[in-house]
Structure 1
Amino acid sequence: MDRSLTKEQLETFEREFTARPANRLMQNAVTQTSVDDIALDRRIVTSVDHSVSHHLDDWKATNQKKSGRCWLFAGLNLLRVGAAEKLGVKDFEFSQNYLHWWDKFERANHFLEGIIETSGRDADDRTVAHLLSDPISDGGQWNMFVALVAKHGLVPKSAMPETNSSSATGPMNRALMSLLRQGARDLRRLADDGADAQRKHKREVLAAIHRVLSIHLGTPPERFLWQWRDKDQDFHRDGWMTPAEFAEAYVQIPLQDYVCLVHDPRPSSPVGRTFTVEYLGNVIEAPPVVYLNAGMDVLKQLSMDAIVGGEPVWFGCDVAQMMRGDLGIWDAELFDYESVYDASFEMDKADRLIHHETLMTHAMLFTGVDVVDGAPRRWRVENSWGDEKADKGFWTMNDSWFGEHVFEVAVRRSALPPELAAALDQPPIVLPAWDPMGALAG
């Protein structure tokens, strides 16, 4: 068969296309209307409502705006539930901007240390190229969130409110990436002079990163005066507090007890084993980012049990798959693209991971579940995209979508089955820096 596209082949394809009336009908429809509007399965839409049997949220949805901070928002949304109860208020937000500042600064240091460690390799080495491809994105992981809270504490939103750049991070990130890639160039050139010379220059790069972050996001407070009125309008004052003291007072769940379960069905990823990814992380001295691979039935069961027990669940997923934004719903078969294109889309989750068709892109919070005969039927999700879509910012996920497009959940270690809890003590399998399980939710 010819390697090139030939005139005869093109004529055959054209004849086959025009010979089927359905193709011409779809061409007429899709050239005038969004393909998602054409492919939307009305039967699924009409079968979904936003009610669930176990419903935890009674607060306003947050908004990450034009930033990739979903993982921070989801983590802080989990923590604000207990904080609001202790404060006696209906709505409360920790400062997302505060953790964002510290993540950027820690991430810059993490990146530069990775460059120093790999400075003996060629620039087109796959690991070096991966590090340089995105030195300081907004995205992150559960373990990275925990590392930030453990080292830097928390502050209320009033102590470090949003700025233009925290809500629209593009211009700031461009400056940060340029400085870090320039720093990487210089550190690699200094490799023959030794680690001391490299780290002396690293300090100069970090000083510039510190200035950029402070100009765009403000300066993180070392202390702040905390006082508030509760929902009954009674006044309270805790006085001057540090971020560590504030976290100690108002984080009501044991963050260090949480572990990250993932569903990685690739043949190379055995169930019941722990994994880590090279150069994944933000805080140098924090424990490594470690996942425990488990069956999808375990992720669903533990998530359902947590919600029924009164606790929301942080999770990561491939958010844009089979999603309808204006309706606020996800379903594994929401769009019938096969009928539109007369083509088969048949890759399973493992194949999609292997062939770069999917990876974790977004983190959110499960705040409800509809349980029927002891099994989940649908899930209620607190997104961080504001309150204009879905049910005032709370979305509905059919259980079919969970199985196909959810990748990880953060659950208490004490909730794990004994065999999975024991598996956490084994040394993790190390995946390369570019593995899709190292994707950052944003």
Structure 2
Amino acid sequence: MDKKAISPQDLEWYEKSYEDKDDSLVLERAVSHNGINNSAADYKADEKMKRVFSVEVPEQHVADQKQSGRCWMFSALNTMRFKIAENYKVSPKFELSQNYVNFWDKFEKSNYFLENVIKTADQPLGSRKIDFLMETPQQDGGQWDMLCAIIEKYGVVPSSTMVETYNSNRSDELNQTLNLKLRRDAEVLRKMVKDGSAEEKLESTKSDMLNDVYRILAYSLGRPTKRFDFEYRDTDNKYHMDKNLTPKEFFDKYVNINLEDYVSLINSPTDDKPFNETYTIEMLGNVVGGRQVKHLNLPIDELKDLAIKQLKNGEAVWFGCDVVQDSDRKKGIMDTHLYHKDALFSTDLKMSKGARLDYKESMMTHAMVITGVDLVDDQPTKWKVENSWGEKVGDKGYFVMSDDWFNEFVYQTVINKKYMSDKQLEEQKQAPKMLEPWDPMGSLASFKK
């Protein structure tokens, strides 16, 4: 037998080691019956996660992304409806249309994908870059700058103007169909490039393909709103009507924020990404010619300090994290002390944040909104989080996140530049270093509840 293979003697030793542990059989029964998380749970951790915060913005009705991966979209629009509620006293249940943004995101992502297909057509099938491109031509997920690119081009509308559909709430069928269409189109375009087709012919063919994409999206999501009347009663029961608005006019008047003022900050403590420098990711985006994804990498304490400044000024904070780590969705708790799996299995499961990124143990999977923080001696101890999984999880849709969890599993925040120091502003202006398409900072927030 190969000495590197597992031998019968090895198995005997493993079995004896197992039997020699006094609690092995007890733990076997407990874990196999109750599951790993329930067996490793530290219920005392709940006591530290009391839902009282010294700084918080007003609560609003928690939205529900259903069986779709649009968390980044929901959370970004949730930060914007705070502005409308503050200035126009709309109902706490008022929402901006996620389906409207979803339509244009998928349409623009299709064009973005096809352009990348043409640009990389000289590379062979099976290369890492082509494999990456074909793995997911488009999907539900995204990042903050991608949301800005859509809104800057198409504006926003109230949810009552373009409602959710079966396919926006349950996106698998649409994604499978659209990705099949795009991969088929990729085959055609790559062959055309190989055969020496002129650029005009390629663009004409791509336009025909996008015409089909538009039809698929319109059947599945409905046609996007062009003009509408904004009609509502405010919280004082006063009636309002604003007629014949375009989506961009609505955004400019009612949301009324300059998206250029908001920048993406990341915390990636890895050797390949020095702090205080900016980064972008190859082939990451949605709108061709639109806003570029750009991140400024900062130490975690600076991300938290800026988030606190924004919260103190009454403004919520969009953030990206790895929601599956040390999280209890029923209780709405995210805490590094929630489970003790290392103690349960008598093994070392510790990894640094940088190592988790480097070795694919963790990356940004979900986006939510920070709406509060509890400060003790001016230091954060826990954070209030608005999720987009509806009101049946957590505390009516709200979660509490320990400060330790923020340190370990928060990777991105979006901050208004007015809260940043002069030094940070100068750093943010740097031309970004281009990262590979598969870099963990290019992961898309797309977690489904």
- Report what 2:427 is aligned to: 423
Q: Given that residues 277 and 435 in structure 1 are in contact (C-alpha distance below 8 angstroms), is that contact kept between their aligned partners in structure 2?
A: yes
Amino acid at match of 1:100: N
TM-score by length of 2: 0.97
Matches within 5 A, 1:138-217: 138-191=140-193, 192-217=196-221
- Report what 2:351 is aligned to: 347
Amino acid at match of 1:170: D
Distance 1:351 1:410 in 2: 24
Residue identity (%): 37
Distance 1:364 1:47 in 2: 22
Amino acid at match of 2:38: D
Amino acid at match of 2:176: R
Distance 2:321 2:406 in 1: 8
Q: 1:135 aligns with which of 134, 137, 160?
A: 137
User: Secondary structure at 2:34's aligned position in 1?
Assistant: coil
Out of 143-152 and 187-196, give the one that drifted further.
187-196
- Report what 1:79 is aligned to: 80
Distance 1:380 1:144 in 2: 25
- Report what 2:311 is aligned to: 307
User: Secondary structure at 1:127's aligned position in 2?
Assistant: helix
Distance 2:430 2:48 in 1: 45
User: Secondary structure at 1:31's aligned position in 2?
Assistant: helix
Out of 36-45 and 61-70, give the one that drifted further.
36-45
- Report what 1:56 is aligned to: 57
Amino acid at match of 1:281: G
Q: Given that residues 148 and 291 in structure 2 are in contact (C-alpha distance below 8 angstroms), is that contact kept between their aligned partners in structure 1?
A: no
Distance 1:86 1:159 in 2: 20
Q: Given that residues 71 and 445 in structure 2 are in contact (C-alpha distance below 8 angstroms), is that contact kept between their aligned partners in structure 1?
A: yes
**1:387-437 deviations in whole A, cap 9, x for unaligned?**
012110010001000000000000012211211110122211110111111
Distance 2:352 2:232 in 1: 51
**1:143-199 deviations in whole A, cap 9, x for unaligned?**
001111100001111110111111110001100000001111111111122332222
TM-score by length of 1: 0.98
Distance 2:239 2:417 in 1: 38
Distance 2:352 2:135 in 1: 28
Out of 371-380 and 413-422, give the one that drifted further.
413-422
Q: Given that residues 57 and 368 in structure 1 are in contact (C-alpha distance below 8 angstroms), is that contact kept between their aligned partners in structure 2?
A: no
Amino acid at match of 1:194: A
Residue correspondences, number: 442
Q: Given that residues 153 and 246 in structure 1 are in contact (C-alpha distance below 8 angstroms), is that contact kept between their aligned partners in structure 2?
A: yes
Distance 2:239 2:44 in 1: 52
Amino acid at match of 1:124: G
Amino acid at match of 1:37: N
User: Secondary structure at 1:157's aligned position in 2?
Assistant: coil
How far apart are 1:215 and its partner, in Å?
Answer: 0.7
User: Secondary structure at 2:126's aligned position in 1?
Assistant: coil
Q: Given that residues 52 and 371 in structure 1 are in contact (C-alpha distance below 8 angstroms), is that contact kept between their aligned partners in structure 2?
A: yes
User: Structure 1 residue 221 and structure 2 residue 221: aligned?
Assistant: no
How far apart are 1:375 and its partner, in Å?
Answer: 1.0
How far apart are 1:10 and its partner, in Å?
Answer: 1.3
How far apart are 1:103 and its partner, in Å?
Answer: 0.2
How far apart are 1:333 and its partner, in Å?
Answer: 2.1
Q: Given that residues 165 and 172 in structure 1 are in contact (C-alpha distance below 8 angstroms), is that contact kept between their aligned partners in structure 2?
A: yes
Amino acid at match of 1:68: G
How far apart are 1:363 and its partner, in Å?
Answer: 0.4
- Report what 2:39 is aligned to: 38
- Report what 1:400 is aligned to: 404
How far apart are 1:11 and its partner, in Å?
Answer: 1.5
User: Structure 1 residue 317 and structure 2 residue 318: aligned?
Assistant: no
Out of 58-67 and 48-57, give the one that drifted further.
48-57
Matches within 5 A, 1:248-397: 248-397=252-401
